[in-house]
Amino acid sequence: MTKIFGEGPNQVKALDDVSFSVEKGEFVIVVGSSGSGKSTLLNMIGLLDRPTKGKVFIDGIDTTKLNDGKISAFRNKKLGFIFQFSNLLNDLTVLENVLLPRQIGGTNGSAKKDALELLQAVGLEDQINKRTNKISGGQAQRAAIARGLVNRPSIVLADEPTGNLDSVTSMKIVQLMKTMAKKLNQTFIVVTHDRKDFSDVDRIITIIDGRAFEGEQPTELEMVA
Amino acid sequence: MEYRLRLAKRMLFNKKGSLIGAVLAVTIGILVIHVNFVIFQGLFDAIVRDISNYRNGDILITDEADYIDKSDLALANWFERIPYVQGATPRLSSTAEINMTKNGKLIEETRIPVVGVDPDRDVRTSTVHETVAEGTYVINRNSVVLGSNVARDLGDAQVGDNLKLLITDRWGEDQVRNFRVAGIVQSPGGQGLDYSVVMHIDSLRDMMSREGESSSFMVKLNDPTKAYEVKEFFLRAFPNDDFLAETIEESAEEQLAGFRSGIAMINMIGYFGMMSSAFAIVTIQMMLVNGKTREIGVMRSIGAKRKDILIIFLFQGMIIGAIGAGVGTAAGLGYTFYAKETKMSFNNSLPLEVSYDWAKITQTALTSFTLAIIASLYPSYRATKLLPVEAMRTV
Ligand SMILES: Nc1ncnc2c1ncn2[C@@H]1O[C@H](COP(=O)(O)OP(=O)(O)OP(=O)(O)O)[C@@H](O)[C@H]1O
Ligand SMILES: [Mg+2]
Predicted pLDDT at B166: 95
Give contacts of B308 with chain A, Cβ < 8 Å.
Answer: 104
User: Alpha-carbon distance B281 to B311, whole Å?
Assistant: 16
ipTM reported for the complex, 2 dp: 0.89
Q: Which of A74, A81, A104 sits opposite B304 (nearest CB)?
A: A104
Q: Which residue of A has its CA nearest to B295?
A: A89
User: Alpha-carbon distance A183 to B321, whole Å?
Assistant: 48
> Are B302 and A77 in contact (CB < 8 Å)?
no
User: Alpha-carbon distance B201 to B208, whole Å?
Assistant: 10
Q: Which of B360, B359, B334, B339 is nearest to B350 (CA)?
A: B339
Tell how far the Cα of A35 is from the centroid of ligand 2, in angstroms: 7
Provide the residue ranges of all domains of chain A, joining segments of one domain with +.
Answer: 3-89+153-224
- Tell the burial category of B124 from Cβ atoms under 10 Å away from its Cβ (0-12, 13-18, 19+): middle
Identify which ligand lies nearest to the alpha carbon of B389.
1
Tell how far the Cα of A84 is from the centroid of ligand 1, in angstroms: 15
The minimum-distance atom of ligand 1 relative to the CA of A40 is 18
Tell how far the Cα of A176 is from the centroid of ligand 1, in angstroms: 28
Predicted pLDDT at A219: 57
One digit per residue, the tens of pLDDT, for chain A of length 225 reads: 999 998 888 899 999 999 999 998 899 999 998 889 999 999 999 999 889 999 999 988 899 889 988 999 999 999 999 887 768 999 999 999 999 999 999 877 888 898 998 898 888 889 999 999 899 888 998 899 899 989 989 899 998 888 777 888 888 888 888 888 888 888 999 998 777 777 788 899 999 999 999 887 765 445 554
Q: Which residues line ligand 1 (CB under 6 A)?
A: A 5-6, 12, 14, 32, 34-40
**Residue ranges near ligand 2 (ion) with Cβ within 5 Å:** A 39
Predicted pLDDT at A220: 46
User: Alpha-carbon distance B234 to A223, whole Å?
Assistant: 106
Fold assignment, A3-89+153-224 = Rossmann fold (3.40.50)
Please determine, for residue B388, whether its predicted confidence score (pLDDT) is greater than 90.
Answer: no
The minimum-distance atom of ligand 1 relative to the CA of B389 is 1
Backbone angles phi, psi at B242, to 5 degrees: 55, 35
Pocket test for ligand 1, best of A2, A3, A5, A213 (most atoms within 8 A of CB): A5
Predicted pLDDT at B392: 67
CA B340, B345, B351, B354 torsion: positive or negative? negative
> Are A77 and B303 in contact (CB < 8 Å)?
yes
Tell how far the Cα of A197 is from the centroid of ligand 2, in angstroms: 17
Predicted pLDDT at A171: 86
pTM attached to this predicted model: 0.83
Q: What is the mean pLDDT of residues B155-175?
A: 92
B59-63 and A61-62 beta bridge pairing: unpaired
Q: What is the pLDDT of residues B35-90, one digit of tens each?
A: 999 999 999 999 999 999 999 999 999 999 889 988 888 999 999 999 999 999 99
Provide the residue ranges of all domains of chain B, joining segments of one domain with +.
Answer: 3-50+256-392, 91-214
User: Alpha-carbon distance A27 to A187, whole Å?
Assistant: 6
> Are B302 and A76 in contact (CB < 8 Å)?
yes
CA distance, residue B39 to nearest chain A CA (Å): 44
Which H helix or E strand runs over A212?
A: strand A211-214
Pocket test for ligand 1, best of A39, A159, A160 (most atoms within 8 A of CB): A39
Predicted pLDDT at B311: 96
> Are B294 and A87 in contact (CB < 8 Å)?
yes
Return the C-alpha torsion angle B292, B294, B295, B299, nearest 10: 130
- Tell the burial category of B142 from Cβ atoms under 10 Å away from its Cβ (0-12, 13-18, 19+): middle
Predicted pLDDT at B395: 46
Q: What is the pLDDT of residues B110-158, one digit of tens each?
A: 999 999 999 999 999 999 999 999 998 867 889 999 999 999 999 899 9
The C-alpha angle B227, B231, B236, rounded to 5 degrees, equals: 150
Top residue of A91, A93, A95 to mutate, by most chain B CBs within 10 Å, is A91
Q: How confident is the model at residue B393 (pLDDT cuts 50, 70, 90)?
A: low
Give contacts of B300 with chain A, Cβ < 8 Å.
Answer: 48, 72, 75
Predicted pLDDT at A225: 46
Q: Which of B302, B306, B389 sits opposite A68 (nearest CB)?
A: B306
| Ligand 1 atom 24 nearest Cα | A34
- Alpha helices (H) in chain B, listed in sequence order: 3-13, 16-36, 42-50, 72-80, 119-125, 148-153, 201-208, 227-237, 248-255, 257-290, 293-301, 306-341, 358-384, 388-393
Chain A residues with CB within 8 Å of chain B CB: 43, 46, 48-49, 68-69, 72-77, 81, 83-85, 87-92, 96, 99-101, 103-105, 147, 151
Identify which ligand lies nearest to the alpha carbon of A33.
1
Tell how far the Cα of A16 is from the centroid of ligand 1, in angstroms: 13
Q: What's the CATH number of domain B91-214, 2.40.70, 3.30.980, 1.10.1060, 3.30.70? A: 2.40.70
For residue B294, the tally of other CB atoms under 10 A from its CB is 19
Q: What is the pLDDT of residues B320-367, one digit of tens each?
A: 999 999 999 999 999 999 999 999 988 778 899 999 999 999 999 999
> Are B303 and A101 in contact (CB < 8 Å)?
yes
CA distance, residue B336 to nearest chain A CA (Å): 39
